[in-house]
Amino acid sequence: MKVMKFLSLVTLVLLVLSCDQKTTSNKPIQTEIDSVSYAIGMDVGKNVKASFDDFDEELFVQGFMNVLDSTNILLDEPTAAAVVRTYFQKKQQEEAAKRAEASEKNKEEGVAFLEENKTKEGVQTTASGLQYIVLKEGTGEKPTTDSKVKVHYHGTLIDGTVFDSSVDRGEPAEFGVTQVIKGWTEGLQLMSEGAKYKFFIPQDLAYGANPRPGGPIQPYATLIFDVELLEVK
């Protein structure tokens, strides 16, 4: 079982730590195997820290030594495997519940934000639910689904958190009109070259339940963009 192999490796590290608690100086790295050994210890320590909120090192090492000595074993192997499996399953369920709660909160906050926002001066709402404000009208051509565009944009969450900005990078972006989220595809076609709009994009016209993993955009987040259409190609 992969989890049990992982825990066995962790035990080696903790065993060394527990047997050398009085040592205040660090052993220097002198050889290649020293470097490898230290790097493995770092990796295991990082994983333990990420995997366990609470951990009893003494019992952990005790279990390791009991198996080596074949004495005073408190749990048989099937029970031990079941305990570990249940622990991680429970943790996964708790994390899934937290994500679901956060997603529902994002939905509710987005709906409330858009309901209030659509009553503000200058805000227009399309049939799809996209909201926008014309900051500056353009005089050039309008893009179509076949067009490529060059734009400057500044994207934030409804709390003001900036998650992406070509303006901050100082470099415009270029892409096809259909290569972006639905809210952008629709909004760009409302604009003329040279225009500046602010888009308020509902979650179902943005990334919905599937934003980029690990990114700042959470599931079901409503997004805000300031967009300047520099060129239609």
Catalytic residues, by residue number, are: 153, 163-164, 181, 207, 225
Instruction: Give residue for tokens 């009553």.
Output: 119
Tokens of 26: 């660090």
Pairwise CA distance, residues 131 & 99, whole Å: 27
- Taking CA atoms, 174 is separated from 2, 64, 138, 140, in Å, by 45, 58, 18, 17
Beta bridge partners of 176: 148
> Is the Cβ–Cβ distance between 177 and 232 less than 8 Å?
no
Tokens of 27: 């052993």
In single-letter form, the type of residue at position 17 comes to L
Beta bridge partners of 171: none
> Is the Cβ–Cβ distance between 60 and 11 less than 8 Å?
yes
Q: Is the dihedral of CA 29, 33, 35, 40 positive or negative?
A: negative
Q: Is the dihedral of CA 16, 20, 25, 31 positive or negative?
A: negative
- pLDDT tens, residue order, the chain (233 aa): 455 455 555 555 555 555 444 444 578 889 988 888 888 778 866 876 777 777 777 776 687 678 778 888 888 888 888 887 888 888 889 888 888 888 899 999 999 999 999 999 999 999 999 999 999 999 999 999 999 999 999 999 999 999 999 999 999 999 999 999 999 999 999 999 999 999 999 999 999 999 998 899 999 999 999 999 999 99
Calculate helix-pair angle for 32-51, 2-19, nearest 10 degrees: 110
**Structural domains of the chain, ranges and CATH numbers in brackets:** 2-74 (no CATH), 121-232 (3.10.50.40)
> Is the Cβ–Cβ distance between 150 and 174 less than 8 Å?
yes
Tokens of 110: 């987005």
